[in-house]
Amino acid sequence: MTPLLELVDVRKKFGAVEALRGVSFALAPGEVLALLGDNGAGKSTLMKTITGIHRASAGRILFAGADLASHDPGQIRALGVEMIYQDLALARQQDVASNIFLGREPTRRFLGLPLHVIDRARIEREAEAMIRRLGARVPSVRYRVGDLSGGQQQSVAIARALTFAPKLVIMDEPTAALAVREVEHVLELVRELKRQGIAVILISHRLTDVFAVCDRAIVLRQGRTVADERVAETSMNTIVAHIVGAG
């Protein structure tokens, strides 16, 4: 199968500091990949390089056949890469529907004049369809996001990402601050993305989550790829050994 995402010896320097020292791996369509490593291993730098916030100093990043070297973040998003950050970047004073379409609200003509107003009915209708597509448990698209649980807020962030028709969704520590019941809800959302053929990169320190939903695990240490394991063929002890440098 042709990889959806392929990294070949990716390096990134900030002055004399080499944050990425040769990262290589491939990701297939619909695959769920865990990106693991201790603090300072290079995970955040790598994701910012994939999404175009940083420009790689060397190496190649290919996505759906396109070389991302000359692409800016907007162009990379248009190709189908969505990043959901740990803080979710939600407007918590606004409702679910408004958040899903924030900054991209559909409009309609007003009284046939060359004046466009936000089409609130369409926003709510399409937001409801997106929530149903995910199978997410959200009381109403008119519900204020700040009143939702952590898992429900993750649902809104994922639903917003889906409006861009992504091929890859990168999730940064999506279960870090959630209760056990909410964790399982978010993991089921990851499974749903996989069922829909959307690839996922899951950045997490929770190995129980990794072994619950991921197909493979990549471990970074000091900016290098030190392990690429199929989850079904490895163990938590082995992964921990790679992370701390004992394996």
Q: What is the DSSP string of 8-77?
A: EEEEEEETTEEEEEEEEEEE-TT-EEEEE--TTSSHHHHHHHHTTSS--SEEEEEETTEEGGG--HHHHH
What was the pLDDT predicted at 7? 97
What was the pLDDT predicted at 113? 63
Compute CA 158 distance to the chain's CA centroid, rounded to the nearest angstrom.
Answer: 8
What was the pLDDT predicted at 2? 85
Say if residue 114 is in the same domain as residue 179: no
Domain extent, residue 144, equals 91-148+156-163
What was the pLDDT predicted at 107? 80
In the predicted model, residues of the chain with pLDDT beneath 50 are: none
For 81-124, the pLDDT digits (tens) are: 999 988 888 999 999 999 999 888 878 777 666 667 888 999 99
Tokens, residue 134 = 């995910």
Evaluated on CA atoms 211, 205, 47, 79, the torsion sign reads positive
What was the pLDDT predicted at 104? 81
What was the pLDDT predicted at 114? 61
Choosing from 163, 196, 214, the residue where a domain stops is 163
In a domain, 86, yes or no: no
> Does residue 221 contact residue 37 with C-beta atoms inside 8 Å?
yes
Choosing from 163, 189, 204, the residue where a domain stops is 163
Compute CA 87 distance to the chain's CA centroid, rounded to the nearest angstrom.
Answer: 12
Rounded to two decimals, the pTM is 0.91
Q: Which helix (H) or strand (E) holds 207?
A: helix 207-213
Evaluated on CA atoms 182, 178, 200, 165, the torsion sign reads positive
* Residues above pLDDT 90, as percent of the chain: 79
Say if residue 72 is in the same domain as residue 127: no
What was the pLDDT predicted at 67? 94
What was the pLDDT predicted at 177? 79
What was the pLDDT predicted at 103? 81
Choosing from 163, 197, 214, the residue where a domain stops is 163
Say if residue 100 is in the same domain as residue 56: no
